[in-house]
């Protein structure tokens, strides 16, 4: 359904999920478009980013930010156009990165906006991906925590996902041997033939541990973690002394409601950390590296301009398709950075 300048469609959290989210956890509502007050701007959403971290915010467990309240709009990063402005720094027609959430229109005081200009306006959706939080997460997690050195072995979980695909390509630029882990032959082929990974292994394979040993003969120096579960269990025994494990997500466990079955692997993990002096560090990109976005943006913009990167977008049209797309993303059905095209505007 196209946008109506008088009606604001918004998708709210109708109920908290127990386990995997279902469509009944979301509700599509309509209301009048709000009017900006003094110092405010009215934003119209064009692109909406869907990311795994949103599953955590649907729960009421303690976290680094408050959970989304039931009946509140689902939160998300967006690229939007300024429709009306009562703010001296923004004019009608400006393109901005915002946190408008899953809705057509939103008000902002301007404090949370990042104005788009120059070459990025040719592909504004990239401000939510390769030149936005996705690329920022890959860049800082790998380079600041992983600290890869030429000739080292880097293993990347979710290798064809929005973050993993970037991690692997940055590691190749740094002279590393890169092994990806992805779901299915098609994704593994893409990682090797298009993204340039040295190898990519199917996590659905019954012999993942054996395949990792075969392709990581010198062990693993850096493991970029975004999955957890069985993939981490296969990687851990191969970590080298003083290996580094940046952790930006644990998507395999986001929908868990009970303690994982099977043996308690915590003692083995703790022993490996001690014996091998591993560095295991979780990070939240917006909490830990906000003051370094400029550093990332400058370098990544140069790499993109030099056509050093491949970046795949998985685009779905229509705000009303956001819940189904989000559920599918958590099941691994996406292929690349997941975006909802809310409107068809171009700069």
For the segment 299-346, what is each residue's pLDDT rounded down to a tens digit? 999 999 888 899 999 999 999 999 999 999 999 888 999 999 999 888
- Round to whole Å and give the CA distance between 299 and 131: 10
Q: Residue 277 has what pLDDT?
A: 97
* Residues 287, 58: Cα–Cα separation, whole Å: 19
Average pLDDT over residues 172-190: 96
**pLDDT value, residue 71:** 98
Alpha helices in 62-173 (DSSP H): 133-140, 162-173
State pLDDT tens for residues 41-84: 999 999 999 999 999 999 998 888 899 999 999 999 999 999 99
pLDDT at 259: 55
Instruction: Return residue ranges of the chain for CATH 3.40.50.720.
Output: 133-286
Fold annotation for 133-286: Rossmann fold (3.40.50)
Q: Is the pLDDT of residue 257 over 70?
A: no
CA atoms of 176 and 273, how far apart (whole Å): 23
CATH 3.90.180.10 positions along the chain are: 7-129+311-341
pLDDT at 260 over 60: no
Query: In this predicted structure, what is the pLDDT of residue 228?
Result: 85
80-109 mean pLDDT: 97
Residue 192 tokens, joined = 């090797």
What distance in Å separates the CA atoms of residue 289 and residue 291, rounded to the nearest whole number?
A: 5
Counting residues of the chain whose pLDDT is more than 90, the rounded percentage is: 81
pLDDT digits (tens, 9 = 90+) for 118-159: 888 999 999 999 999 999 999 999 999 999 999 999 999 999
pTM for the model: 0.90
Q: Which of 99, 116, 13, 108 is nearest to 57 (CA)?
A: 13
Q: How far apart are CA 90 and CA 3, in angstroms?
A: 22
CATH superfamily name and code, 7-129+311-341: Medium-chain alcohol dehydrogenases, catalytic domain (3.90.180.10)
pLDDT tens sequence across 188-211: 999 999 999 999 999 988 899 999
- Identify which of 94, 87, 107, 102 has the alpha carbon closest to the alpha carbon of residue 14: 102
Residue 301 burial class via C-beta count within 10 angstroms: exposed 0-12, middle 13-18, buried 19 and up = middle
Q: What gap in Å lies between CA 323 and CA 319, rounded to an integer?
A: 9
Specify the pLDDT at position 229: 86
For the chain, the average pLDDT equals 93
> Which H or E element spans position 267?
helix 266-275
């Amino acid at each position: 359904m196209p946008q109506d300048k008088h009606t604001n469609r918004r998708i709210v959290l109708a109920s908290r999920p127990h386990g995997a989210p279902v469509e009944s956890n979301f509700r599509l509502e309509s209301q009048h478009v709000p009017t900006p007050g003094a110092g405010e701007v009215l934003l119209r959403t064009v692109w909406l980013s869907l990311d795994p971290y949103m599953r955590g915010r649907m729960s009421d467990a303690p976290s680094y930010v408050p959970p989304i309240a039931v009946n509140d709009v689902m939160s998300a990063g967006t690229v939007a156009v300024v429709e009306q402005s009562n703010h001296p720094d923004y004019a009608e027609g400006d393109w901005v990165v915002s946190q408008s959430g899953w809705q057509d229109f939103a008000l902002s005081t301007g404090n949370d906006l990042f104005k788009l200009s120059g070459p990025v306006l040719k592909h504004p959706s990239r401000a939510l991906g390769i030149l936005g939080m996705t690329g920022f997460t890959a860049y800082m997690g790998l380079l600041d925590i992983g600290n890869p050195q030429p000739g080292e072995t880097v293993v990347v979980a979710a290798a064809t996902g929005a973050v993993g695909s970037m991690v692997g390509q940055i590691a190749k630029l740094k002279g590393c041997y890169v092994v990806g882990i992805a779901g299915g032959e098609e994704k593994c082929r893409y990682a090797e033939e298009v993204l340039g990974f040295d190898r990519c292994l199917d996590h659905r394979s019954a012999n993942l541990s054996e395949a990792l040993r075969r392709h990581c003969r010198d062990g693993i120096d850096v493991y970029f973690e975004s999955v957890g579960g069985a993939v981490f269990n296969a990687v851990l025994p191969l970590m080298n002394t003083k290996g580094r494990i940046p952790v930006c997500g644990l998507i395999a466990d986001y929908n868990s409601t009970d303690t994982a079955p099977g043996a308690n692997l915590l003692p083995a993990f703790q022993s490996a950390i001690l014996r091998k002096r591993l560095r295991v560090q979780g990070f939240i990109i917006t909490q830990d590296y906000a003051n370094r976005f400029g550093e990332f943006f400058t370098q990544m913009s140069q790499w993109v301009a030099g056509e050093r990167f491949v970046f795949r977008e998985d685009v779905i049209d229509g705000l009303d398709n956001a819940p189904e797309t989000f559920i599918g993303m958590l099941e691994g059905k996406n292929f690349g950075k997941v975006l909802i095209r809310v409107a068809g505007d171009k700069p």
